[in-house]
Amino acid sequence: MSAKVKFFGAVRTVTGSMHMITNGRSRFIVDCGLFQGRRDESFERNTHFPLDPRELQACVLSHAHIDHSGNLPSLVKRGFRGRILATEATRDLCTEMLPDSGHIQEEDIRFVNKILKKRGLPPRLPLYTLKDSEEALRFFRGCKYRTPVQIEDGVTVTFYDAGHVLGSATPLIEMHNGTAPIRLAYAVDLGRKNAPILRDPERPPDIDYLILESTYGGRTHSPIEEAEEMLARTVRATAERGGKIIIPSFALERTQEIVYYLSRLIKQNRIPDLPIYVDSPLAVNITDVFRKHEECFDEETLSRLRANSDPFGTERIRYITDVADSKKLNGDARPMIIISASGMCEAGRILHHLRNNIENPKNTILIVGFVAKNTLGRRIVERAPTVRIFGEEQPLRAEVVIINAFSAHADRNELLDYVMPLKGRVKAIFIVHGDEDQSESLTALLKEQGFAVHMPFPEEEIELA
Ligand SMILES: [Zn+2]
Ligand SMILES: [Zn+2]
């Protein structure tokens, strides 16, 4: 029996990661992410699975980001009864993030149904609900790093640290078919060296096949120190003109990292001591999950903890969970920093803060993470003259600052560094998780280096020997 991999999601695009592996009798998927983009297309793609969830024995989950984990509730709703294998930190993060995503789905459909009703069209059901998410959590099994776990007879998975977000892993899947084993590693997503809080990415030993992300396959990031200086400059300039700094941020990782940098910059007197608010109940809960998982921390973070200096800035940063407190920020004209989710500006309290601040040229909207095509975040990055928020066009007059170097993704050079030691040993590299131009650019680079590289098409199936 031969092993096969079939590429379903995040193929020639970034979001919706999902791939299926079959090996003899066993059949399982790696990741089950939400596709994010235009509303109707997203709904269509997230609702219809190109496979039968009832036939799957397991889902190997790389990390908690919604574009990797966010369609698990739909999978369970459609009959999946296998195990969801993830690191312990990823399991704990999903315990916060999936119910939140279910809540967002419900809110979102309420908004859509209002519009449909006006047009005399029938209402829709949410993709999944908070309850569906809670049901999905029952199937999670937390795994330790670097410890093989059996998926089926002769098939194991071992999680290596991907250094991308808390709990993130590069799973190594080993399949024994009586002959030599086949080892498939899944480096999607892959982090950067020297990122704050987390340990550096590690490469699993002995890889025959590698599935590799390419979010920044054609671009390079500036060094992280430059990003920190740019953050300091942006805060100083905006504070001097009396404006607010609005930072749309993923509740997972980027928020904790920005807090980590801001508290360090204040301590070093490099920025004024402005009020800083983390306005996201999810980010608050996620920060608590961070505190429980020291096994994921790098040396600097551990030593800050040992020295009783909280790397998550509890001394000066105000964490907001209450809606009333969130609304109070609108009436407060002082310069301040507001960090709020979601990072792509598609949902959450960030929408209120953008609505209230986007028209004032004194303010700054600081983009610190990846924003997918066809999202509000991308339109802000493109500095569109007007943007639509809660169904209304608003002029974009605030300054837009983009800092890509905080990226949690390895850039072109870092991806190359990661694969170079595999030269002469890896049989093939499959490039996924990137806009097409980025995937193509990385494919060309690796081909130049003599690797066998392939950019799969959606639903393409490839035999592994
Ligand atoms: Zn990710
Ligand atoms: Zn991703």
Domain extent listing, the chain:
3-219+408-464, 224-406
Neighbour count for residue 48 (Cβ, 10 Å): 9
Q: How far is the CA of 217 from the centre of ligand 2 (A)?
A: 13
Q: How far is the CA of 370 from the centre of ligand 1 (A)?
A: 10
Predicted confidence band of residue 24 (pLDDT cuts 50, 70, 90):
confident
Q: How far is the CA of 65 from the centre of ligand 1 (A)?
A: 5
pTM of the entire structure?
Answer: 0.91
pLDDT the model gives residue 1 = 62
* Residue 461 to residues 3, 19, 122, 383, 456, Cα–Cα distance (Å): 10, 10, 38, 40, 8
Q: How far is the CA of 165 from the centre of ligand 1 (A)?
A: 7
Map residue 117 onto helix, strand or coil.
Answer: helix
* Residue 216 to residues 14, 190, 408, 431, 439, Cα–Cα distance (Å): 10, 11, 10, 12, 8
> Closest ligand to 36 CA?
2
CA angle 68, 408, 136 (to 5 degrees): 20
Q: How far is the CA of 404 from the centre of ligand 1 (A)?
A: 15
Q: What value does the mean pLDDT take over residues 303-326?
A: 85
pLDDT at 381 over 70: yes
Give me the CATH code for the 3-219+408-464 domain, please: 3.60.15.10
Lowest-confidence segment of 108-112, 286-290, 375-379 by average pLDDT: 108-112
Q: What value does the mean pLDDT take over residues 169-191?
A: 93
Predicted confidence band of residue 102 (pLDDT cuts 50, 70, 90):
very high
> Closest ligand to 215 CA?
2
Give me the CATH code for the 224-406 domain, please: 3.40.50.10890
d(CA 243, CA 240) in angstroms, rounded, equals: 8
Token couple for 313 = 């800035």
Q: How far is the CA of 400 from the centre of ligand 1 (A)?
A: 24
